[in-house]
Amino acid sequence: MAVRSSSRTNRVFVFIFATVVVVLALFLFYHFKPPLIDYLAARMGHKAGEDSLIRIPELILWSILAFLGVRALGTLIFDLLFRIRRGYEAPTLVRNIFSLLAFTGLFVLIFNKIYEEINLGALFTTSAIFGVIIGLALQDTLGNFFAGISLHADRPFQVGDVIVVGLQKHTGVIESITWRAIKIRTFQNHIVLVSNSNAAKEAIEVCPRENLNARLVLFGTLYTDSPAKTIHVVREAVRDADNVSEKITPIVRIRNLGDFSIEWEVKYWLDDYAKYNDTDALVRQRVWYALRRNGLTFAFPTYTLHLERKSVARPVTAEEQIADRLSAVDVFSPLSAEELKQLATATVGHVFAPSETLIRAGDEGSSMFVVNNGRVAVQVVERGTPRTVAVLTEGNFFGEMALFTGEPRTANVVALEETEVLEIGHAAMKHIFETNPSLAESISWTIAERQADLAAGSLQASQQSIQESAGVLASIKRFFGLH
Q: Which residues bind ligand CMP (CB under 6 A)?
A: 359, 365, 378, 389-390, 398-402, 409-411, 413, 450, 453-454
Distance CA 434, CA 343 (A): 13
Distance CA 8, CA 43 (A): 47
Distance CA 480, CA 343 (A): 17
**Which residue number, 197 or 451, has a Cβ lying nearer to ligand CMP?**
451
Least CB distance from residue 444 to ligand CMP, whole Å? 13
**Which residue number, 221 or 410, has a Cβ lying nearer to ligand CMP?**
410
**Which residue number, 280 or 449, has a Cβ lying nearer to ligand CMP?**
449
Closest to 434 in 3D by CA, of 339, 311, 338, 293: 339
**Which residue number, 161 or 453, has a Cβ lying nearer to ligand CMP?**
453
Name the 3-class secondary structure at 368. strand
Least CB distance from residue 392 to ligand CMP, whole Å? 6
**Which residue number, 269 or 398, has a Cβ lying nearer to ligand CMP?**
398
* Cβ–Cβ < 8 Å for 449, 389: no
Least CB distance from residue 227 to ligand CMP, whole Å? 25
Least CB distance from residue 377 to ligand CMP, whole Å? 10
List strand residue ranges (DSSP E) for 77-234, in order: 162-165, 170-177, 181-186, 191-195, 204-207, 213-221
* Cβ–Cβ < 8 Å for 70, 102: yes
- DSSP class of residue 331 equals G
**Which residue number, 411 or 421, has a Cβ lying nearer to ligand CMP?**
411
**Which residue number, 413 or 476, has a Cβ lying nearer to ligand CMP?**
413
Distance CA 195, CA 202 (A): 11
Strands 204-207 and 213-221: unpaired
* Residue 416: exposure state from Cβ atoms within 10 A (0-12, 13-18, ≥19): middle
Least CB distance from residue 463 to ligand CMP, whole Å? 15
Closest to 173 in 3D by CA, of 207, 213, 127, 150: 207
**Host H or E run for residue 371:** strand 367-373
Least CB distance from residue 389 to ligand CMP, whole Å? 4
Distance CA 382, CA 405 (A): 23
**Which residue number, 183 or 450, has a Cβ lying nearer to ligand CMP?**
450
**Host H or E run for residue 264:** strand 262-270
**Which residue number, 189 or 467, has a Cβ lying nearer to ligand CMP?**
467
Closest to 394 in 3D by CA, of 416, 417, 422, 375: 375
Least CB distance from residue 427 to ligand CMP, whole Å? 17
Least CB distance from residue 376 to ligand CMP, whole Å? 9
Least CB distance from residue 253 to ligand CMP, whole Å? 31
The number of CA neighbours under 13 Å toward the Cβ of 353 is: 9
